[in-house]
Amino acid sequence: MTPIYKVLINNNTIIKPIWVMRQAGRYLPEFREIRSKNPDFIKLCLNEKLSAEITLQPLKRFDLDAAIIFSDILMLPYGLNQKVEFKKGIGPILGDLDLDSILKLNENNFVEKLSPIYKLVNLINNSELTKNKNTIGFVGAPWTLLVYMINQKSPKCGLKNDFFKDKNLTSKILNIIEKFLKVHIKHQVKNGAQIIQIFDSWAGLLNDKDLPNYVYEPTIKLVEYTKTLNIPTICFPKGIKKYKDYCETVKPDAICIDYDVDPKEILKNIKIPVQGGMDPKILLTDQENLKKEAKRYLEIFKDHPYIFNLGHGILPDTDPEMMDYLVKTVKDF
């Protein structure tokens, strides 16, 4: 049994495995070299050989306990024929939403369009580098995907003024998202994903009163579906304050916390395994500070099932040597 499974399934409190969100990517020079020759991000995600190479790059450097596939949550709208492109310095830009066209899509169309992702999962799962490690697949949560699909860009500057105007439309889109997320999860699992992480990157945009309708209910359906495949789920509802309510309602196998959350409060209120928490900016400081902060999380969760991770993705300016030092610090704890 892998170290992460021991925490997720056996609730082991002694083992403290580590992997890092966005561990495959932008802070590694070998990734930047591939990226410079492949400016179209979507095409890169759909090139299973290059995506597999990128996914495995951090495992060649660091003693991590999992590989998380190199992909993107916005491959879902892309699979639904909504135009998706990534612009440097701006982020994702999505095209108009054609509901009639989406409603005509069937599972075969969708799977065919995203088939390189499933081939990538298979390549990773069968790599020598992932022996005794977990292959992690992932999806965006329904709310976060709804945000991108209607807003058509990152909501860093807020949602469109009329975002909630057509409740019938948002309800229809959420149903479509749920249907195809289950397909996306099923095919990742079929090809070897052993854990699914659900990223709700924009959960923090909502008022507490809206969380049940837009976050809890749609995510419960995914968690329950994934459990029918005998696969554990880790949920990351970034920016919410009610972690206890979330865990008791959604019932994931583990909860990933962000860096704005007090880990001691989480320890007090959360019974299930916990993942993450450390601010990625700590990796931009020095080794002494990094060791101190990593050990703070390890000490807080020393008697609780815990997977070491960051409270968000690793930053592009991170020195790989600092990442190496972090992994060794966790392994030596």
CA distances from 19 to 148, 157, 166 (A): 27, 30, 40
Task: Note the pTM of the prediction, 2 decimals.
Answer: 0.97
- Domain residue limits at 117: 3-332
Beta-sheet pairing, 306-307 with 274-276: parallel
**Number of domains the chain contains:** 1
E-strand stretches of the chain: 66-68, 84-87, 91-94, 134-140, 195-200, 233-237, 254-257, 274-276, 306-307
**CB-count exposure of residue 286 (10 Å: 0-12, 13-18, 19+):** exposed
- What is the pLDDT, as a whole number, of residue 114? 98
**Residue range 302-318: average pLDDT?**
98
Longest dimension (CA), the chain: 56
Q: How far is CA 8 from the centre of its chain?
A: 16
CATH number of residue 228's parent domain: 3.20.20.210
236 vs 176: CA distance, rounded Å: 21
Closest listed residue to residue 155, CA positions, set 164, 166, 165, 144: 144
Taking only the tens place, the pLDDT of each residue in 154-213 is: 998 788 888 888 888 899 999 999 999 999 999 999 999 999 999 999 999 999 999 999
Taking only the tens place, the pLDDT of each residue in 22-52 is: 999 999 999 999 999 999 999 999 999 999 9
* Cβ contacts of 11 within 8 Å, gap of 6 or more: 273, 305
3 vs 225: CA distance, rounded Å: 24
Taking only the tens place, the pLDDT of each residue in 94-128 is: 999 999 989 999 999 999 999 999 999 999 999 99
